[in-house]
Amino acid sequence: MQLAKYRTSSGETGFGVLEGSKSIVPLGDHPSCEAANLFELLEADEIVATLTSLLASEDVPSAIAIEEVQLEAPLDGQEVWAAGVTYKRSKTARMEESAAAASCYDRVYASDRPELFFKATPNRVAGPGQPVRIRVDASWNVPEPELALVINSRKQLVGFTVGNDMSSRDIEGDNPLYLAQAKVYNQSCGLGPWITLSSAMPPRSEIGIQLQVFRNTERVFHGETHIEQMARSFEDLIGWLGRDNSFPAGAILLTGTGIVPENDFTLLPGDRIDISIDGIGTLSAPVIQGS
Ligand code: DO4
Ligand code: MG
């Protein structure tokens, strides 16, 4: 089962269950749905049973065609966090990027404790089709396509979505203490197009990640990785994130990138980034840069 958040043409926000990838059953209009938003739905003890019974009930509202609404990033008040250097490719790229921090990246890849950093508040997140941003003061920028874990307030892994950890490699490479500036700014994070519930997600051995960047009509980068290349388990990352750390509004945790373009590649304003993850779908977004 997949859950989406959307905005109607009259500006109202709704949430619901996807039917195929063509329409959404609007749960906010369901008289028997107790949840007021996506977050509250993700808090349900037995989410699949709850949804199954809502969909089977006589008063289920009619589905809305997906073209009639604008999909929104599938989060409400959740903080967005990210793990880093969870794939060998990320470790190698970072060691090339910063001689000063090379040993930090080498050690964190092998350490028990992972790299975890705060990535975004909901206002910094771009949904499907909404622009992600290159910082005004950055000259070397990449998308980072990452599987994102959806965690409820009890720190349970309830679902998955597609994440884009936009990163300014020149700022991060200049000094590791600039990491927060390379990673956290307006529209620095993409999420969507919807959430696949844990019960509907394929096993790790079947989750591939694909990144494509288009400039005008030309594909200027493509790369692939696989969740099996990730050096850490989801449970391990959630366990470290949740140590002495509470999430009353839930959290989204990006699990790190296994795709880093060669060092001569940088994003440009006007590019389009497509990130596809098996079991979820494709998050597509244009790139902008302010001046
Ligand atoms: O420390 C650098 C950030 C690493 C990261 O974002 C990743 O590996 O995905
Ligand atoms: Mg990343």
Domain boundaries, the chain: 2-72, 79-289
The pLDDT of residue 98 is 86
Helix (H), strand (E) at residue 53:
helix 47-56
Q: Is the CB of 257 under 6 A from ligand 1?
A: yes
The predicted structure's pLDDT at residue 181: 98
Residue 271 Cβ inside 6 Å of ligand 1? The answer reads: no
Residue given tokens 């999430």 in the structure block: 247
Residue 47 identity (one-letter amino acid): I
Return the best residue to mutate from 94, 177, 232 for the ligand 1 pocket (most ligand atoms within 8 A of CB).
Answer: 94
Task: Give kind and range of the element (H or E) at residue 105.
Answer: helix 102-110
Pocket test for ligand 1, best of 115, 140, 275 (most atoms within 8 A of CB): 115
Q: Residue 97: CB within 6 Å of ligand 1?
A: no
Find residue 161's DSSP bridge partners.
148
Tens digits of residue pLDDT in 144-200? 999 999 999 999 999 999 999 999 999 999 999 999 999 999 999 999 999 999 999
Say yes or no: CB of residue 115 within 6 Å of ligand 1: yes
Nearest protein Cα to ligand 1, atom 1: 84
Report the distance separating Cα 129 and Cα 284, nearest Å. 6
pLDDT of residue 194: 98
Ligand nearest to the CA of 229: 1
- Can you give the pLDDT at residue 290? 80
Distance, in Å, from the CA atom of 171 to the CA atom of 278, rounded to the nearest integer, reads 32
Does the beta carbon of 256 lie inside 6 Å of ligand 1? yes
Q: Which residues of the chain have pLDDT under 70?
A: none
Q: In the prediction, which pLDDT does 191 show? A: 98
Domain 79-289 belongs to what topology?
Fumarylacetoacetate hydrolase; domain 2 (3.90.850)
Alpha-helical runs (H) found in the chain: 38-42, 47-56, 88-97, 102-110, 169-174, 179-183, 234-241
Has this prediction a pTM greater than 0.85? yes
